[in-house]
């Protein structure tokens, strides 16, 4: 087996043994979850203070009192000092990302690497043990499994889930598919890259005939229209949306096209996961694996019912690249605990990157984002659609050949179906953000 395949089998065996516990935690009360958090936090803080130079300078005791929050920019600037395995460094991590194709390239037969642009647009790289990723991803996937068990159980041969999302395992959706192939357990994921032309996505799904469908809301809304037109012939029992905000318009389109419940998943490469009940709008988050603080712009707690400026996440599972009071620029509004469990319940405010449309052609932003994330020099970006292509503004550190990046973007757009795309790449010292929120609209479509 390849290095990843062997590592995957070990990780899957460990997670399969613990799945009953993962499912049981969905019914734990708030007091039992708080006890688990305290125990895991003490272990994490002691481990990080002993082995990570970055956290040795920040941590003061067995709890989070007085620990400053950390932004993605600060974490990336100090990445070598953040790692607790001192064999790891940015150079090795970047080489693993560059070598990644259909499967991840493990580091030291133990770790896998992911990259993300996130809602902030700033590139981040994240290292974890594969078993850790399995526990974190279970924080969302267990809700899909629970729905399946309530609705008749696992089909003979396993539960087939087609995922219309990222193909590359440097993204969480692609890694989840690489971790769960056919024959590896009760459920398996088959990736259908969202970057493919729509007709090819439809053809692949018609050939797969999956039991369930999962993917980006913008892509699933397009597929719902294909199903209503009779070109998409699948009949999934559940549709799961992820990685983008599920807007009311997309929800209505998906429901009209497929006529089945919609489960919405919140996922982050950093480890925070959540899921709604089918057709619900409030997420239950994996607070058995993460501590989540809803705070204002000065990191002060906000009361229940008040939208936060951001959330601070402490990933209790990842010890190799600890994330302790890590800033996620999403706005959460806490809801009362459910009667049947004590997991954090919150509504999420944010925005979805709109599909770029040229006439009848729609291209998902991931086509462009995937090309941008290959470049570690990239700090920030904004993409503006033009009548024949895109104008990309970038902020970068060090040398980054704008002409080469433009060629890569042109090739990606042509592969997605845009004939003779015109692409410009311009460098700037800083990209202007919204004065009130500090956020930036990454993808700006043409005015309609």
- Position 197 pLDDT exceeds 90: no
Do 423 and 368 share a domain, yes or no? yes
- Asked whether residue 369 falls in the same domain as residue 327, the answer is no
Q: If you average pLDDT over residues 174-202, what whole number do you get? A: 83
pLDDT of amino acid 186? 76
CATH code for position 159: 3.40.50.12780
327 vs 272: CA distance, rounded Å: 11
The CATH code of the domain that includes 372 is 3.30.300.30
Q: Are 440 and 434 in contact (CB under 8 A)?
A: yes
- Do both 250 and 334 map to the same domain? yes
Verify that 112 and 211 share a domain, yes or no: yes
- pLDDT exceeds 50 at position 27: yes
Question: Of 322, 351, 380, which residue is a domain's last?
Answer: 351
230: its two tokens? 């009779």
CA distance 114 to 93: 9
More confident residue, 93 or 133: 93
pLDDT of residue 370: 82
* Positive/negative CA dihedral, 291, 294, 299, 302: negative
Nearest to 358 by CA among 425, 416, 441: 416
47-61 pLDDT tens trace: 999 999 999 999 988
DSSP H or E stretch at residue 115: strand 111-116
Q: Is 143 exposed, middle or buried (0-12, 13-18, 19+ CB in 10 A)?
A: buried
Whether residue 82 is predicted with pLDDT greater than 80 in this model: the reply is: yes
Distance CA 294, CA 267 (A): 17
> 273 and 139 in contact (C-beta within 8 Å)?
yes
Q: How confident is the model at residue 448 (pLDDT cuts 50, 70, 90)?
A: low
Q: Which residues fall within 8 angstroms of residue 5, CB to CB, at 6 or more apart?
A: 103
Check whether residue 345 and residue 365 sit in a common domain: no
**pLDDT tens for each residue of 155-178:** 888 889 999 988 788 888 788 888
User: Do 21 and 124 sit in the same domain of this protein?
Assistant: yes
Angle at 252 between CA 249 and CA 254, to 5 degrees: 105
Q: Which residue has the tokens 């799961």?
A: 240
Q: Which of 433, 341, 318, 334 is nearest to 380 (CA)?
A: 433
303, 209: one domain: yes
147-161, 174-188, 209-223, 299-313 — most confident range: 299-313
Say yes or no: 59 and 99 in one domain. yes
Report how far apart the first and last C-alpha atoms of the chain are (Å, whole number): 52
Distance of CA 75 to the CA centre of its chain: 18
Examine the pLDDT at 351 and tell me if it is beyond 60.
no
Q: What is the Cα–Cα distance from 265 to 276, expressed in whole angstroms?
A: 7
For residue 262, give the nearest of 147, 114, 152, 405 by alpha carbon: 147
Tell me which residue range forms the domain holding 239. 1-351
Q: Do 368 and 423 share a domain, yes or no?
A: yes
Whole-structure pTM value:
0.81
Strand partners, 128: 112
Same domain as 364, residue 301: no
> Which of 298, 321, 351 marks a domain boundary?
351
Residues 101, 190 share a domain = yes
Give yes or no for residue 437 having a pLDDT over 60. Answer: no
Of the candidates 232, 243, 230, 177, which has an alpha carbon nearest to the alpha carbon of residue 209?
A: 232
Name the domain boundary from 299, 331, 351.
Answer: 351
Domain count, the chain: 2
Residues 287 and 32: their CA atoms lie apart, in Å, by 11
Residue 166 shares a structural domain with residue 102: yes
Q: 352: pLDDT confidence band, cut at 50, 70 and 90? A: very low
């Amino acid at each position: 087996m390849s290095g990843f395949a062997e590592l995957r089998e070990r990780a899957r065996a460990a997670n399969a043994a613990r799945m009953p516990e993962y499912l049981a935690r969905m019914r734990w009360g708030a007091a039992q979850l708080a006890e688990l958090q305290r125990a895991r936090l003490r272990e994490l803080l002691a481990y990080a203070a002993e082995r990570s130079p970055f956290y040795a300078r920040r941590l003061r005791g067995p709890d989070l009192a007085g620990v400053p929050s950390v932004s993605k920019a600060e974490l990336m600037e100090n990445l070598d000092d953040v790692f607790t395995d001192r064999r790891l460094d940015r150079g090795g991590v970047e080489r693993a990302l560059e070598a990644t194709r259909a499967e991840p390239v493990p580091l030291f037969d133990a770790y896998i690497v992911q990259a993300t642009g996130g809602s902030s647009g700033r590139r981040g790289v994240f290292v974890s043990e594969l078993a850790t990723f399995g526990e974190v991803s279970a924080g969302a996937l267990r809700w899909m499994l629970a729905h399946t068990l309530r609705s008749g159980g696992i089909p003979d041969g396993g539960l087939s889930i087609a995922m219309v999302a990222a193909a590359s395992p440097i993204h969480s959706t692609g890694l989840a598919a690489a971790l769960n192939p056919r024959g590896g357990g009760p459920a398996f994921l088959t990736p259908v890259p969202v970057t493919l032309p729509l007709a090819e996505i439809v053809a692949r799904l018609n050939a797969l005939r999956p039991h369930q469908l999962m993917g980006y809301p913008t892509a699933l809304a397009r597929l719902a229209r294909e199903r209503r037109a009779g070109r998409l012939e699948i009949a999934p029992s559940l549709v799961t949306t992820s990685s983008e905000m599920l807007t009311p318009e997309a929800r209505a389109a998906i429901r009209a096209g497929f006529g089945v419940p919609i489960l919405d998943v919140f996922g982050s490469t950093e480890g925070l996961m959540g899921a709604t009940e089918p057709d619900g709008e409030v997420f239950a988050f994996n607070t058995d694996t993460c501590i989540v603080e809803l705070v204002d712009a000065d990191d002060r707690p906000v009361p229940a019912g008040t939208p936060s400026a951001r959330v601070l996440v402490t990933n209790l599972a990842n010890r190799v690249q600890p994330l302790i009071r890590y800033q996620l620029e999403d706005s959460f509004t806490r809801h009362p605990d459910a009667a049947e469990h004590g997991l954090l319940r919150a509504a999420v405010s944010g925005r979805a990157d709109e599909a770029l449309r040229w006439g009848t052609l729609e291209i998902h932003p991931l086509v462009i984002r995937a090309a941008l994330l290959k470049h570690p020099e990239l700090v920030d970006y904004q993409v503006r659609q033009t009548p024949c292509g895109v104008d990309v503004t970038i902020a970068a550190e060090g040398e980054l050949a704008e002409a080469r990046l433009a060629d890569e973007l042109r090739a990606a757009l042509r592969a997605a179906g845009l004939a003779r795309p015109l692409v410009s790449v311009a460098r700037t010292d800083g990209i202007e953000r919204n004065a009130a929120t500090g956020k930036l609209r990454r993808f700006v479509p043409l005015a309609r």
